Amino acid sequence: MRPTFVEVDLGRISANLAAIRSHVSPSTKVMAIVKANAYGHGIVEVARLMEKQRADMLGVAFLEEAVLLREHGITAPILVFGGIAQKQIPLILKLGLSATAPSVDKLRLIDEAAGALGIRARVHLKIDTGMERIGVHYYSADKLLEASLSCRHCDVEGIYSHFANADAADLTHARLQQQRFMEVLEFYTKRSLPPPCRHLANSAGVLALPESHLDMVRPGIMLYGVYPSPETPKTVPVHPALSWRSHVAYFKVVQAGSPVSYGSTWAPEQQTRVVTVPLGYGDGYFRALSGKAQMLIRGHRYPIVGRVCMDQTMLDLGTGTAYNGDPVTIIGSDEKEAISADEIASWAGTIPYEVLTNINTRVPRVYLGA
């Protein structure tokens, strides 16, 4: 196997799920979000684990992700968040997936397709309370809810909305979104109808807004042990499940003034030791980390020098020591030092979500506790 790999500790993901469960009320269900290759952790393995740990539902962005899970024998309920094209509807129905209905038109198409196929459709209504993405606006949601009552072939399992700012220090907008969602739900109260499963909280909602938990929560990033933002309160103890490791592929002494890597952007002022690590932006390690990030060898932090290449990255050891084959940690801990996805995100000017989801499939995944 390639010596550059991602190590996923499945025990950590299970423990994070358990921590989320004990934080929310016992009657609140948990949907485990596994979109984007389970935030880089491997969608099939994580979904299998979540099924085994009895997560109430799995959440994916696209039909293709759900198809992959069904092909791998995962039978758990799966909600597809994204807007679906009309031609995808029959496959959604045949695979027993739950579809998002973001408009009256889509709902009707789903209902008709289900009628034509002679199967029941599972549907979650999507309300836009302040994201301006897919979903019917909260101020015109009644017509979608009304239409859902007259569907003949749909089981309306759920109704949901999504926060735009629950990870901010200022929760005013998140609270406004929740208020709008609750007003939409009065449709059911007024008609003395039980509402379908109401869900709103992403990780930030789970952590910062207990009143948003409702009937089900949808944690993504926190399941993987990473907090959504530095502003989110750490009300649930979760721990990172992913480590990214490589090894020293080459050691050399570089003379003062001899530039390292493409573009010759950096040269040592005095003779130094430089090692090459066999990974680069072709693996999803941002080129923007050139000259900014660090990696760990033998419990020490060493800076990246010169540009990150497609397949290789160079570290300046200074007077430090490393040998060919020594383990290198890109994300994770090594002796007393650790580098988190958050730290890489701040070096690269992005968020930990992008750091994790960017690690591509060229990097093999290894599972601990499988």
Ligand X SMILES: *Cc1c(COP(=O)(O)O)cnc(C)c1O
The binding site for ligand X (CB under 6 A) comprises 33, 35, 81, 162, 202-204, 218-221, 228
* Bridge partner list, 154: 121
Give me the helix-helix angle, 172-190 and 142-149, nearest 10°: 40
- CB 114, min distance to ligand X, A: 23
Chain-centre distance for alpha carbon 177: 22
**Residues 221/353, Cβ–Cβ less than 8 Å:** yes
138 counts as catalytic: no
Q: How far is CA 265 from CA 96, 147, 260, 305, 308, in A?
A: 54, 61, 7, 9, 11
DSSP designation for 269: S
Which residue is catalytic, options 29, 35, 106, 126? 35
Element spanning 296, H or E: strand 294-297
- CB 132, min distance to ligand X, A: 14
- CB 219, min distance to ligand X, A: 5
**Cβ-closest position to ligand X:** 220
Let me know if 129 is exposed, middle or buried by CB neighbors in 10 A (0-12, 13-18, 19+): buried
Decide whether 20 or 308 has the Cβ nearer to ligand X: 20
**Residues 70/44, Cβ–Cβ less than 8 Å:** no
- CB 330, min distance to ligand X, A: 21
Decide whether 226 or 296 has the Cβ nearer to ligand X: 226
- CB 125, min distance to ligand X, A: 13
Which residue is catalytic, options 139, 250, 262, 323? 262
281 counts as catalytic: no
Cα torsion 102, 105, 107, 108 to 10°: value is 180
Active site positions, annotated: 35, 262
